[in-house]
Structure 1
Amino acid sequence: MQDDATGRTLTVHEPRAVPWLSVALGFGPMLPFVAGAAAAWTLGGEPGQAAVTVTLLWACAILLFFSGVRRGVSFRTEGGATVAQVATMLALFVLGFGALLAVALGRAGLSAAFLIAGYGLVAVLDPIAARRGEAPLFFARLRPVQMPVAIVSLAALLVLVARA
């Protein structure tokens, strides 16, 4: 690292392989999606509805976190944040916050639909951003495997809610 009066120059080496900590921190937060969907389908009634609500709130929190990750990464993009980075961050934030509002208004199905769209965007756009140097390189390998866990779990909730 070089630091002078005008700024700082960083040299970074990113691995293509997914670091072990990113595997743990990437898939650990996906477990509540699976557990919540399974509980909602298995328990039914009030406990099942509580599982739906808690799982949707968890999914909102994680999607809003991903929005912040995209913004944070943009601070270290060579040449500054790109339009794609800012647009992706805003889209994820709007979908995550919209899903949160939908839960608060008792619209679980709408919340699940917003969240499925958001996690679908992450699955598609993060690998593209990784190849363009706008996100960590290992996102190209992690996100296509990680995001389907959330999407399938949320789709199971959407089906359950639609049937009720």
Structure 2
Amino acid sequence: MTMLEDATGRTVTAHEPRETPWLGVVLGYGPMLPFAAGAAAAWWWRDSWDELILLVTIFYGAAILLFLSGVRRGVSFRTEGGPTVVQIATMLGLFGLGLGALLFVGVLGNRVIALDLLIAGFVAVAVLDPIAAKRGEAPLFFARLRPLQMPIAVLSLAALLVLKLTSPY
């Protein structure tokens, strides 16, 4: 990366790999493991701990989705020509879905809608981040990482949704 600074600002030139860096693999897939663990544990301890595990996984999912909205905003600061409308709209959409999940589970006690919002958010990341990567609005490696990373969260949250919908409680 090179930087040139003058009185009006700074010009940054960076090289971005297409391959997912090892830290991207660790920090990309590592945070997906609690989703799978939460779904497996809720099904394993069905009728005893499933509700607590469900709540913790929903809160965790909302935190991750809110973090991903911040990632989208952070990347927009380095977009050539400045942030795009699509970047800002995506950031606001992800933030709204994450916050909505927190409100529905924490305030209204509706776990089904909270799960629906989280699933929608993670599906959006899986679809929109590769498009953004190709348009230069996200790191290039997102095009390969997100379609493999996000289904872990989506399938885990879907398993929790099925559990909730079939539970007598």
Shorter-chain TM range is over 0.9
* 2:27 matches 1:25: yes
SS in 2 for 1:10: strand
Q: How do residues 129-144 of structure 1 correspond to structure 2 at under 5 angstroms? A: 129-144=132-147
Aligned to 1:113: 116
What is the one-letter code of the residue matched to 2:70? G
SS in 1 for 2:5: strand
* 2:83 matches 1:77: no
Measured after TM superposition, the shift of residue 45 of structure 1 is: 2.4
* 2:159 matches 1:159: no
Question: What is the CA–CA distance in structure 1 between the aligned matches of 2:136 and 2:157, rounded to whole Å?
Answer: 30
What is the one-letter code of the residue matched to 2:126? A
Pick the structure with more helix per residue: 1
* 2:125 matches 1:122: yes
Question: What is the CA–CA distance in structure 2 between the aligned matches of 1:16 and 1:54, rounded to whole Å?
Answer: 35
* 2:101 matches 1:99: yes
Measured after TM superposition, the shift of residue 102 of structure 1 is: 1.1
Q: How do residues 53-92 of structure 1 correspond to structure 2 at under 5 angstroms? A: 53-92=55-94
- Structure 2, unmatched stretches of 5+, are none
SS in 2 for 1:109: helix
Question: What is the CA–CA distance in structure 2 between the aligned matches of 1:16 and 1:46, rounded to whole Å?
Answer: 45
What is the one-letter code of the residue matched to 2:68? F
Identity %: 66
Q: How well do the aligned residues superpose, as a CA RMSD in angstroms?
A: 0.6
Question: What is the CA–CA distance in structure 1 between the aligned matches of 2:114 and 2:8, rounded to whole Å?
Answer: 46
TM, length-normalised to structure 2: 0.96
User: For residues 67-112 of structure 1, what are the alpha-carbon distances to aligned partners after superposition, in whole Å with 9 as ceiling and x for unaligned?
Assistant: 0000000011111100000000000000000001111121111111
User: For residues 6-42 of structure 1, what are the alpha-carbon distances to aligned partners after superposition, in whole Å with 9 as ceiling and x for unaligned?
Assistant: 0000001000000000000000000000000001111
Question: What is the CA–CA distance in structure 2 between the aligned matches of 1:100 and 1:156, rounded to whole Å?
Answer: 19
Measured after TM superposition, the shift of residue 44 of structure 1 is: 1.6
Aligned to 1:39: 41
Which range moves more in the overlay, 71-80 or 45-54?
45-54
User: For residues 97-145 of structure 1, what are the alpha-carbon distances to aligned partners after superposition, in whole Å with 9 as ceiling and x for unaligned?
Assistant: 0001111121111111000000000000000000000000000000000
Which range moves more in the overlay, 87-96 or 39-48?
39-48
Question: What is the CA–CA distance in structure 2 between the aligned matches of 1:144 and 1:153, rounded to whole Å?
Answer: 15
Question: What is the CA–CA distance in structure 1 between the aligned matches of 2:61 and 2:152, rounded to whole Å?
Answer: 11
- Structure 1, unmatched stretches of 5+, are none
Question: What is the CA–CA distance in structure 2 between the aligned matches of 1:27 and 1:149, rounded to whole Å?
Answer: 9
Runs (4+) of structure 1 exceeding 2 A deviation are none
